[in-house]
Amino acid sequence: MRVNKGLMITATFDPTKRTSLITVADMCRKIEENSISLPLYQRDISWTLQKCIDLLNYQLWGKAPVSPISINVINTVDSAVPQVSFIDREIISTIERGQYSVVDGQQRLTTNYKAYCNHDDFRNIVLDLGKGEFTEVRDSIRSNQIPVGILLNKEDTKLFEYTKAKSALGSADVLSVLLQVRSKMRNYNYTLNSAEDLTEDEQIEWFEVLNNAGSRVSIIQMRFSKLKAHGIDIYKQYTNLYRTRVYEAGYEDFFTPQKTNVSYPVAALNPAYEVITQKPHSGNYAPIPSDTKENQLCNLSPEQLTQCFSMTLAALDRTLDFINENTPTQLPRIDYINYLLGYFIFHNEVLTENNKEKLLQWMDNVDFTNKSNSERRDIFTALIT
């Protein structure tokens, strides 16, 4: 009987032996030094503030360790996947031998690092001494609360300066508890599962296995993340701006579950793509998540893609203004926004009173409930024509 030679070799190799421990403080220092980085294909930060709070509380109260971080150790620098920094996702020009590249664990590392550097995103997260947990404050910070960015700051002096200025936190008992919490959180150990010199395909395969075999949203995000090499940051230039505008209009609930943070904004790019490429409208280019065209968008030139972003955001602003001026109540679905956005891209001229009335009638009469994708596409085609 023939036995595959590769099987004989792999049977002697046990990757589970390649683990190590690292403290949160050491991880954060390495992130700050860019010696822990992200491969270019990694998606952006996706955790909500509440998810970050949940992690901090688990590290404080949990009776089992947080799941491991998966690291690709770069030893062969010349063939390494380009790396970007945490949070701002800037390309790292010089990769050192032994660089830690995060295959899985970006959200957990970013959460701890934001507390370490007192990032503005965490300005409303505090340790509430009365509740004994991290929580989000909606109003002013009370005397029995301390900001997480002060408590877990990289500089010890920040905590002492804060407690000195707050008489309620200055007692020996309170300061002792705060120092114990700080010590526990900073010295909390993460397990690192590591491999060496994985190719991009091998890294993505590892990531997909760890994340439900690669959801469509994750694959979309990876594809767009690679555009960073061409000077395009879809998150800073488009998706974050799209979400912020919709949030500010009072529609934050539309982005639940988390995957819609990507699928809704990307679907909204379809009308601009058709206009920019001068293609006749096709039914499967409706602004709905099932019709996202990440491959086609990524094949645009950087200039075309930037134009696509700006055209869509301008139409979004026009749509939200139209809705605000003409509808007394909140809309029940984001479809209204994306469909009207598409209409304004195809019809960029000044809106006549007649067309305004037709749009308002459409909003009153359209029904998206229990519609198939085919029916939803027909609704959009009828609207723009």
How would residue 217 be classed by pLDDT, with cut points 50, 70 and 90? Answer: very low
In the predicted structure, residue 254 carries a pLDDT above the cut 50: yes
What is the residue-averaged pLDDT of the chain?
88
CA 376 vs. chain centroid, Å, equals 28
CA-wise closest residue to 35 among 82, 119, 111, 101:
101
pTM of the predicted model, to two decimals?
0.66
Sheet holding 133-136, edge to edge: 133-136, 125-128, 145-147
pLDDT in the model for residue 216 = 45
Between residues 217 and 10, the one the model is more confident about = 10
pLDDT in the model for residue 220 = 62
Dump pLDDT digits (tens) for 280-329: 898 899 999 899 888 898 888 889 999 999 999 999 999 999 999 998 78
In the predicted structure, residue 213 carries a pLDDT above the cut 60: no
Dump pLDDT digits (tens) for 76-128: 988 888 898 998 888 898 898 999 999 889 999 999 999 999 999 999 999 99
How would residue 253 be classed by pLDDT, with cut points 50, 70 and 90? Answer: confident
Query: Tokens at residue 307, please?
Result: 């134009």
How would residue 258 be classed by pLDDT, with cut points 50, 70 and 90? Answer: low
pLDDT in the model for residue 270 = 95
3 state SS of 263: helix
Full DSSP string of 194-233: EEES--HHHHHHHHHHHTTTT-HHHHHHHHHHGGGGGT--
Dump pLDDT digits (tens) for 333-365: 999 999 999 999 999 988 899 999 999 999 999
In the predicted structure, residue 157 carries a pLDDT above the cut 80: yes
How would residue 130 be classed by pLDDT, with cut points 50, 70 and 90? Answer: very high
